[in-house]
């Protein structure tokens, strides 16, 4: 059954009376929408609108729980703590006592879980005690690559990546109605002025899987770079003009872009 603890994920806990108001002013999505059975996908940006971390926000009666890349959890606690000032909020890296469980396909959603807010096909996520289920990260990686879903720092670069290049608009990672948050100005300008020139897209890989960062070439011209991958599938950041190419060169492999149905390119907008 397609269910797996995700060992690369950790959990940050925000508690205190001001937790929702505090986080709402810092991140890209409307965290007030998080509730039992409903998670919100959001990101923390630099003041210049560049990606630092993304996470799923779960809500309980007395806390917000952030399902985040495990290696980024200490950084996220430190970054958010700088903005606490007099806010009634406490932050804790709880990755040693909470784990992230993901299910997809025919796996039934257990009590306390929430649908993955990005795509219905993505499945569901839950926060559980460590060791309460098997780990099969390769199966989950194959699943998310088949859908073209980004995976944190495996596909994005801290202080460089722009959310809309990685599908945060179509995948419900940005609220366009909530109030101000850090990095909002560049994010909004990128959308409304049509400034996105590259997209992170899934690719079929023929040949040896290229290492992350390997340049992608079209007719000898560099048009992007490889990001994450597994087996015969991967993710690559490509210029829009290269998405229609039947084949691209990358190291010793051939890449074939496979734009997912959920992705809205300029001609489709």
Tens of pLDDT along 108-143? 999 999 999 999 999 999 999 999 999 999 999 999
* pLDDT in the model for residue 89: 97
The answer, yes or no, to whether residue 82 has pLDDT greater than 90, is yes
Q: Which fold has domain 197-264?
A: Elongation Factor Tu (Ef-tu); domain 3 (2.40.30)
pLDDT at 238 over 90: yes
Contact in structure between 173 and 29 (CB atoms under 8 Å): yes
- Whether residue 253 has pLDDT greater than 90: yes
- Confidence grade of residue 266 (pLDDT, cut at 50, 70, 90): confident
Predicted local confidence at residue 179, as pLDDT:
85
Edge-to-edge strand ranges of the sheet holding 63-69: 40-45, 51-59, 63-69, 9-15, 90-93
Has residue 102 got a pLDDT over 90? yes
Angstrom distances, CA of residue 122 to CA of 28, 94, 140, 142? 21, 25, 10, 11
Q: What gap in Å lies between CA 163 and CA 168, rounded to an integer?
A: 6
In percent, the amount of the chain with pLDDT more than 70 equals: 99
Question: Residue 247: left (phi > 0), alpha (psi -120 to 50), or beta?
Answer: beta
CATH number of 3-154: 3.30.1360.120
In the chain, which segments carry CATH 3.30.1360.120? 3-154
Write down the pLDDT at residue 1.
66
Spatial neighbors of 95 by CB under 8 A, at least 6 apart, are: 10, 11, 12, 70, 73
Q: What's the mean pLDDT in 166-179?
A: 96
In this prediction, residue 18 carries a pLDDT of: 98
CA distances to 103, 156, 221, 231 from 248, in Å: 33, 21, 10, 17
Where in the chain is CATH 2.40.30.110? 197-264
Residues with Cβ within 8 Å of 139's Cβ and at least 6 positions away in sequence, in order, are 2, 4
pLDDT, average across residues 226-232 = 97
* 92 pLDDT higher than 50: yes
Residues 122 and 145 sit within 8 Å (Cβ to Cβ): no
Q: How confident is the model at residue 268 (pLDDT cuts 50, 70, 90)?
A: very low
In this predicted structure, what is the pLDDT of residue 70? Answer: 98
194 versus 41: the higher-pLDDT residue is 41
Confidence of residue 204 (pLDDT cuts 50, 70, 90): very high
């Amino acid at each position: 059954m397609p269910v797996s603890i995700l060992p690369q994920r950790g959990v940050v806990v925000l508690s205190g009376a001001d937790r929702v108001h505090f986080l709402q002013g810092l991140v890209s999505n409307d965290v007030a929408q998080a509730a039992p059975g409903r998670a919100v996908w959001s990101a923390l940006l630099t003041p210049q609108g560049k990606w630092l971390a993304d996470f799923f926000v779960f809500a309980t009666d007395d806390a917000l729980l952030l399902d985040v890349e495990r290696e980024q959890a200490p950084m996220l606690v430190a970054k958010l703590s700088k903005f606490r000032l007099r806010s009634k909020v406490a932050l804790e890296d709880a990755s040693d006592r909470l784990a992230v469980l993901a299910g997809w396909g025919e796996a039934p959603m257990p009590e306390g879980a929430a649908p993955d807010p990005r795509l219905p096909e993505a499945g569901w996520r839950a926060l559980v005690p460590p060791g309460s289920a098997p780990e099969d990260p390769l199966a989950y990686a194959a699943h998310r690559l088949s859908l073209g879903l980004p995976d944190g720092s495996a596909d994005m670069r801290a202080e460089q990546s722009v959310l809309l290049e990685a599908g945060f608009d179509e995948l419900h990672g940005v609220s366009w109605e909530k109030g101000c948050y850090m990095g909002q100005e560049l994010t909004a300008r990128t959308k409304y002025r049509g400034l996105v020139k590259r997209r992170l897209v899934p690719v079929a890989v023929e040949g040896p899987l290229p290492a992350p960062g390997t340049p992608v070439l079209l007719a000898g011209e560099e048009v992007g770079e490889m990001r994450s991958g597994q087996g015969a599938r991967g993710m690559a950041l490509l210029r829009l003009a290269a998405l229609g190419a039947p084949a691209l060169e990358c190291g010793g492999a051939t890449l074939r872009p496979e734009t997912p149905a959920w992705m809205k390119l300029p001609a489709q907008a």
